[in-house]
């Protein structure tokens, strides 16, 4: 009996020691760090170069992109050789078969990433929306190679090699499903709470975008909610939508209240409903400092100084764009505050609340952070005109 007990003890020790010899990945180490700029809705813009070109280009840092891309005019200026592919990309407003520029290099400050295949797209609309030239989008083709830390407090990105990383205290590790996009579960509530799965999309300058099919089938929004007509821009052009406010959104252990959501007809099946309900945008994610660990299929989030900031509840019904160096009113929703104030298509915005900067980001922020009466000077047929707009609060 003693021999049997001794044998069992030795066997237990052997397997215990063997378990302690489990392979662990090498320690991750820092490759580079660089600053970024933010546009309205939290959109992240980084500077980079392609191949040996000295020109500094503007890229949107976008977890909602399944690859990496260049604007068609930028590709032409760089004289890249393009080949038509059989691959189709789709967005909220369209889908198309794309050309590729194969086997090129992306140069970020302190980091060279080789053997990238850029698909080619037309980003003129994004350029006019943001008021700066959008040369491309950095997505999954880059993110899958590294661990990327985004610090929205310092507006700093750090890039690490794949491997073991110690996360800071005070946060939470999300475990989304992955294809080329991260698909994260979240609880959204109004009349009732439901658990849905959504694309994790830092390239979307809003809080939540839900497909109308998902909203209709889940029946979670209170019947008394009021909806406002609006639009957003995406692949293929502009897309008409509705906006409202729901009671709550919960991401991991973090809960937000009175969250604006956009609802759209998913004509091009971007969400592959019922697989997905829509997407989580960067006006939610900018409230965390984020570590994108795609090699380990995880995303670490930690509340930052923006966590408790108010959401944008303003509603103007105006679509303004930078066109030929001028900020112009292009789209006006009928019956909206902009329409009631007397705005007309092709009005040139000269100032908002005595701000004469002619900076579309500044003007958008003024519209988004103001409720009530706003004085706007426009030029119409070369004549100045003062308009007063009563910006709507969509919570009411």
State pLDDT tens for residues 114-167.
999 999 999 999 999 999 999 999 999 999 999 999 999 999 999 999 999 999
**What's residue 20's pLDDT?**
54
Question: What class is the 173-284 domain?
Answer: mainly beta
> pTM higher than 0.95, yes or no?
no
**What's residue 233's pLDDT?**
85
DSSP conformation letters of 180-244: SSEEEEEEEESSSEEEEEEEE-TT--SSEEEEHHHHHHH--S-TT---EEEEEEETTEEEEEEEE
Mean confidence (pLDDT) of the chain: 93
* Domain residue extents for the chain: 30-160, 173-284, 314-393
Strands 193-200 vs 278-280: parallel, antiparallel or unpaired: parallel
Which of 370, 396, 395 lies closest to 245 in space, CA to CA? Answer: 395
Which of 111, 21, 100 lies closest to 67 in space, CA to CA? Answer: 100
- CA 97/CA 289 separation, integer angstroms: 35
- CA 177/CA 199 separation, integer angstroms: 9
**What's residue 11's pLDDT?**
47
Whether residue 87 contacts residue 99, with contact meaning beta carbons closer than 8 Å, is answered with no
Whether residue 282 contacts residue 203, with contact meaning beta carbons closer than 8 Å, is answered with yes
DSSP 135: -
Low pLDDT (below 50) residues in the chain: 2, 4-7, 9-15, 17-18
CATH of domain 30-160: 2.40.70.10
**What's residue 91's pLDDT?**
82
**What's residue 22's pLDDT?**
60
**Tokens, residue 382:** 């070369």
**What's residue 9's pLDDT?**
47
Q: What is the CA radius of gyration of the chain?
A: 24
**What's residue 24's pLDDT?**
74
CATH 3.40.50.920 fits 314-393, yes or no: no
Q: How far, CA to CA in Å, does 117 sit from each of 178, 286, 352?
A: 20, 28, 43
Whether residue 224 contacts residue 214, with contact meaning beta carbons closer than 8 Å, is answered with no
Q: Same CATH fold, 314-393 and 30-160?
A: no
**Residues forming beta bridges with residue 174, ordered by sequence position:** 299
**Tokens, residue 387:** 């308009």
Whether residue 43 contacts residue 60, with contact meaning beta carbons closer than 8 Å, is answered with yes
Give me the phi and psi of 55, to 5 degrees please: -70, 130
Please calculate the CA angle 79-83-85 and round it to the nearest 5 degrees.
Answer: 145
**What's residue 10's pLDDT?**
46
- CA 201/CA 174 separation, integer angstroms: 14
pLDDT, tens digit, for every residue of 2-20?
454 444 544 444 445 445 5
């Amino acid at each position: 009996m003693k021999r049997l007990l001794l044998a069992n003890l030795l066997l237990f020790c052997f397997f215990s020691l063997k378990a302690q010899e489990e392979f662990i990945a090498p320690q991750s180490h820092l490759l580079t760090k660089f600053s970024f700029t933010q546009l309205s809705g939290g959109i992240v813009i980084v500077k980079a170069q392609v191949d040996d070109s000295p020109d500094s280009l503007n890229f949107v840092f976008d977890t909602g992109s399944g690859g990496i891309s260049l604007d068609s005019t930028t590709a032409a200026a760089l004289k890249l050789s393009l080949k038509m592919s059989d691959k189709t990309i789709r967005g909220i407003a369209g889908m198309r078969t794309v050309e590729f520029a194969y086997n090129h290099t992306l140069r970020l400050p302190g980091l060279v990433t080789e053997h990238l295949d850029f698909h080619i797209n037309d980003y003129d609309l994004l350029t006019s929306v943001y008021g700066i030239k959008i040369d491309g989008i950095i997505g999954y083709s880059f993110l899958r190679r590294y661990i990327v830390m985004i610090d929205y407090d310092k507006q700093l990105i750090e890039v690490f090699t794949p491997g073991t990383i110690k996360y800071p205290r005070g946060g939470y590790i999300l475990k989304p499903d992955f294809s080329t996009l991260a698909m994260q579960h979240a609880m959204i509530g109004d009349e009732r709470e439901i658990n849905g799965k959504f694309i994790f999309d830092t390239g979307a300058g809003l809080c939540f975008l839900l497909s109308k099919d998902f909203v209709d089938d889940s029946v979670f929004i209170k019947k008394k909610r009021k909806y406002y007509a609006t639009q957003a821009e995406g692949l293929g052009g502009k897309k008409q939508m509705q906006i409202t406010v729901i009671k709550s959104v919960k991401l991991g252990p973090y809960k937000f209240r009175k969250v604006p959501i956009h609802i759209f007809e998913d004509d091009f099946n971007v969400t592959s409903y019922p697989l997905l309900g829509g997407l989580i945008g960067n006006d939610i994610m900018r409230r965390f400092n984020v570590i994108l660990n795609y090699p380990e299929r995880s995303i670490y989030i930690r509340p930052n100084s923006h966590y408790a900031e108010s959401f944008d509840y303003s509603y103007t019904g105006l679509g303004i764009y930078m066109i030929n160096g001028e900020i112009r009113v292009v789209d006006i929703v009928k019956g909206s505050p902009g329409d009631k104030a007397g705005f007309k298509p092709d009005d040139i915005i000269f100032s908002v609340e005595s701000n004469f900067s002619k900076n579309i980001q500044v003007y958008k922020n003024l519209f988004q952070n103001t409720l009530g009466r706003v004085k706007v000077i426009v030029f119409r047929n070369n004549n100045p005109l003062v308009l007063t707009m009563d910006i709507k609060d969509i919570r009411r």
